[in-house]
Amino acid sequence: MQIANNTVVSIHYTLRDDTGSELDSSIGGEPLVYLHGAGNIISGLEAELSGMQAGDDFTAVIPPAEAYGETDPQLVQEVPLDALAGIDNIRPGMRLQGQSSDGQSQVLTVTAVGEDTATLDANHILAGMTLHFEGSVAEVRAATAEEIEHGHVHG
């Protein structure tokens, strides 16, 4: 069966950045399982996998626009350390849970800490990056009606 909309796909992959540094991998663990066509993975990788079948190997270079987008400078802000009261040992690289102005949960990365302020970045940690995937398709099956209705894989 070929990968197409409303198929459940299992892949093993390794993700690297432009320097070749490994960012993530399923090798030696469970495969990534997703519902194709439901927006469960980045659009560029989903497009690259379309038409493949179990046993196929893939290599894909995904530009930021088809991954997590470009870095948006408006999502970076300096806040007083007082606003982060109750959080111990604030340091660059730390990730915090916050809320956007529309009430949605978001992850903030501390990028700098000054004497009285911290700089927080609400961009996705992979925003602005070209992503390099290599891997293989482990399994492809038809999605159940319930999986299609819910927009994600069950079990």
CB-CB contact of 81 with 116 (8 Å): yes
Give the model's pLDDT for residue 94. 95
Following DSSP, what letter does each residue of 13-49 receive, concatenated?
A: EEEE-TT--EEEE-TTSPPEEEETTTT-S-HHHHHHH
Interval 13-20 mean pLDDT: 98
Task: Provide the H-helix boundaries in the chain.
Answer: 43-49, 145-150
For the 7-68+127-150 domain, the top CATH level (class) is alpha beta
Q: Could you tell me the residue ranges of all domains in the chain?
A: 7-68+127-150, 73-121
Predicted model pTM: 0.86
CB-CB contact of 93 with 74 (8 Å): no
Interval 4-30 mean pLDDT: 97
Tell me the pLDDT tens digit for each residue of 97-116.
988 778 889 999 999 999 99
pLDDT band at 142 (very low <50, low <70, confident <90, very high): very high
Q: Same CATH fold, 73-121 and 7-68+127-150?
A: no
CATH topology of domain 73-121: Thrombin, subunit H (2.40.10)
Tell me the pLDDT tens digit for each residue of 18-74.
999 999 999 999 999 999 999 999 999 999 999 999 999 999 999 999 999 999 999
The rounded distance, in Å, linking the Cα atoms of 130 and 18 is 6
The pLDDT of residue 85 is above 90:
no
The pLDDT of residue 134 is above 90:
yes
The pLDDT of residue 155 is above 90:
no
